[in-house]
């Protein structure tokens, strides 16, 4: 990301700066999604720390760049984008409802800082580290990157003596009142927030995909009623595109079959390396945690330590595209969703046929994929409030009357019969870690489906050509 900086003298007391003065005293960075992003003096104090700069070495989409070469953007860029959009959102609300909501300078500053620092606690390769690696090496551990972000914020403030108002610091971590401010960055009530606005557009662009969701329209449709951000009823389908775009990215990018194969291999590699590198011991103290980043891949790959040989070999296989072989997948039938339990390698091994070489759990990798519209199996629109669009007599038809205070839910069937009636997919994928076992794993996977559902729920069989190719490769020692 290209950057051009402009800096001027900053007065000692800048708490009451006007927006014009604040921009004049800012630095700006040119972002390839939002254009010029202006960083205010307080935000710069956080950005210019080694803990925040570490985000440059955390890829936003982890190992996805090994399938989508353009997906090399970092959490540094994303965090700046969320900071900027958080400022845009609160300024929009302040313009129309500033007096009514008592939005002051500290509220604006706090929301922006919360957006800037929301991902400070992410580990190497992001969600994979938290959801796949840690549960393996520290089973039962109650740990999340959100909690670590809060610890990291305190650590950065103390370590660098950042002069931030104590009340503002508390609000950065949690809003006890004016809950709508917290919802701007991370909306636990309906899932609509500027974090998603940024990564949907940024990730789509990086992967060369189109994005037909327009967050600008959502900004224009916002209004706070009863401490809750509501949206104009006429933007129902625009908001639906937000959830649909997110689900589509999960299916085509985040959980792409080859992306998951690479992730499974890397998790095996760092799990094997954990005892030697003591990776998991870093997660408890911010002073150690911030030293973990994506360079762990290169650390293992270039090490001469014999204890890391197995991990190095796995990374070499990733480099040479000798991946765990995708055998097949099935979507869990809708009627079985409620009681579904994750499928394990043991489930597949127990379903193998005696006519093939005996499979062990170490030969198989299983990926249980969940794709939804942010609310699991529930309709996200049930927790979303819209407000009535009434018209100002002197305004254009697209101008809402901000004196309107009626909020309500809308049933999907009143909008369109083409909207989904189910809100979650669960997909089970199975991989063979050894090429010559593709046929045996595929057959065991089919047997598992028959035993579990009384039918094969996969769309098609594993291609015979794929099985023969893997057998031939193994016999030639390729």
Residues 240-255: pLDDT tens digits?
A: 999 999 999 999 999 9
Cβ(38)–Cβ(85) under 8 Å? no
Q: Please name which of 294, 454, 267 lies closest in space to residue 366, comparing C-alpha atoms.
A: 267
| Cα(129)–Cα(451) distance, integer angstroms | 33
According to DSSP, residue 324 is labeled P
| pLDDT given for residue 400 in this prediction | 46
| pLDDT given for residue 415 in this prediction | 65
Mode of pairing for the β-strands spanning 424-432 and 222-225: unpaired
| pLDDT given for residue 14 in this prediction | 41
Domain 324-390+419-477 fold is Alpha-Beta Plaits (3.30.70)
Rounded alpha-carbon distances, angstroms, from residue 27 to 54, 116, 441 = 20, 15, 56
Collect the ranges in the chain with pLDDT lower than 70: 1-25, 355-357, 388-405, 408, 413-415, 468-478
| Cα(215)–Cα(240) distance, integer angstroms | 12
| pLDDT given for residue 383 in this prediction | 78
3-state secondary structure 352-377: CCCCCCCCCHHHEEEEEEEEECCCCC
Cα R_g (the chain), whole angstroms: 25
| pLDDT given for residue 470 in this prediction | 56
Cβ(56)–Cβ(50) under 8 Å? no
Residues 382-409: pLDDT tens digits?
A: 877 777 654 333 434 344 444 556 776 7
- Alpha helices, DSSP H only, in 278-329? 286-289, 296-302, 309-319
Residue with the two structure tokens 């609509």: 192
Per CATH, is 23-323 categorized as 1.10.3210.10?
yes
Which residues are marked as active site? 145
| pLDDT given for residue 75 in this prediction | 98
Q: Where along the chain do the CATH 3.30.70.2760 domains lie?
A: 324-390+419-477
Q: Where along the chain do the CATH 1.10.3210.10 domains lie?
A: 23-323
Token pair belonging to 435: 């090429």
Q: Which residues contact 170 (CB under 8 A, 6 or more apart)?
A: none
Name residue 370's beta-bridge partners: 426
Q: Please name which of 377, 383, 379 lies closest in space to residue 339, comparing C-alpha atoms.
A: 377
How far is C-alpha 376 from the chain's CA centre? 15
């Amino acid at each position: 990301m290209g950057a051009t900086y402009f800096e001027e003298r900053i007065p000692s007391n800048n708490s009451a700066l006007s927006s014009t003065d604040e921009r004049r005293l800012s630095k700006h960075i040119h972002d390839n999604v939002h254009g010029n992003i202006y960083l205010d003096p307080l935000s710069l104090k956080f950005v210019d720390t080694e803990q925040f700069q570490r985000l440059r070495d955390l890829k936003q989409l982890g190992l996805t760049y090994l399938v989508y070469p353009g997906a090399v953007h970092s959490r540094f860029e994303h965090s700046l984008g969320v900071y900027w959009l958080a400022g845009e959102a609160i300024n929009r609300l302040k313009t129309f409802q500033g007096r009514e909501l008592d939005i002051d300078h500290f509220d604006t500053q706090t929301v922006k800082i919360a957006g800037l620092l929301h991902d400070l606690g992410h580990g190497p390769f992001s969600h994979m580290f938290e959801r796949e690696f840690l549960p393996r090496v520290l089973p039962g551990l109650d740990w999340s990157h959100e909690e670590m972000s809060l610890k990291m914020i305190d650590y950065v403030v103390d370590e660098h003596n950042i002069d931030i108002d104590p009340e503002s610091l508390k609000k950065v971590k949690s809003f006890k009142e004016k809950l709508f401010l917290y919802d701007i960055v991370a909306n636990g009530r309906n899932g609509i927030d500027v974090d998603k606005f940024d990564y949907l557009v940024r990730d789509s662009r990086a992967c060369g995909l189109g994005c037909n969701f327009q967050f600008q329209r959502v900004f224009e449709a916002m209004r706070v009623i009863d401490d809750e951000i509501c949206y104009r009823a006429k933007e129902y389908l625009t908001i639906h595109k937000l959830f649909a775009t997110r689900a589509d990215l999960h299916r085509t990018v985040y959980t792409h079959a080859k992306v998951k194969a690479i992730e499974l291999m890397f998790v095996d590699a760092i799990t094997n390396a954990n005892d030697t590198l003591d990776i998991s011991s870093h997660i408890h103290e911010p002073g150690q945690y911030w030293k973990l980043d994506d360079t762990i891949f290169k650390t293992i790959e270039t090490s001469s330590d014999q204890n890391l040989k197995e991990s190095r070999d796995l990374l070499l296989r990733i480099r040479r595209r000798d991946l765990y072989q995708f055998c097949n997948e099935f979507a869990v039938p809708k009627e079985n969703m409620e009681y579904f339990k994750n499928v394990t390698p043991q489930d597949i091994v127990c379903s193998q046929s005696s006519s093939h070489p005996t499979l062990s759990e170490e030969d198989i990798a299983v990926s249980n994929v969940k794709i939804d519209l942010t609310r699991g199996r529930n309709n996200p629109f049930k927790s979303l409030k819209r407000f009535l669009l009434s018209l100002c007599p002197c305004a254009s038809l697209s101008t809402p009357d901000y004196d309107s205070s009626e909020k309500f839910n809308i049933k999907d069937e009143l909008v369109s019969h083409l909207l989904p009636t189910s809100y979650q997919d669960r997909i089970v994928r199975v991989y063979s870690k050894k090429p010559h076992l593709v046929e045996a794993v595929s057959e065991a996977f089919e047997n598992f489906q028959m035993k579990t559902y009384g039918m094969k729920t996969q769309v098609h069989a594993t291609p015979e050509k794929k099985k023969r190719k893997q057998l031939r490769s193994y016999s030639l020692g390729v």
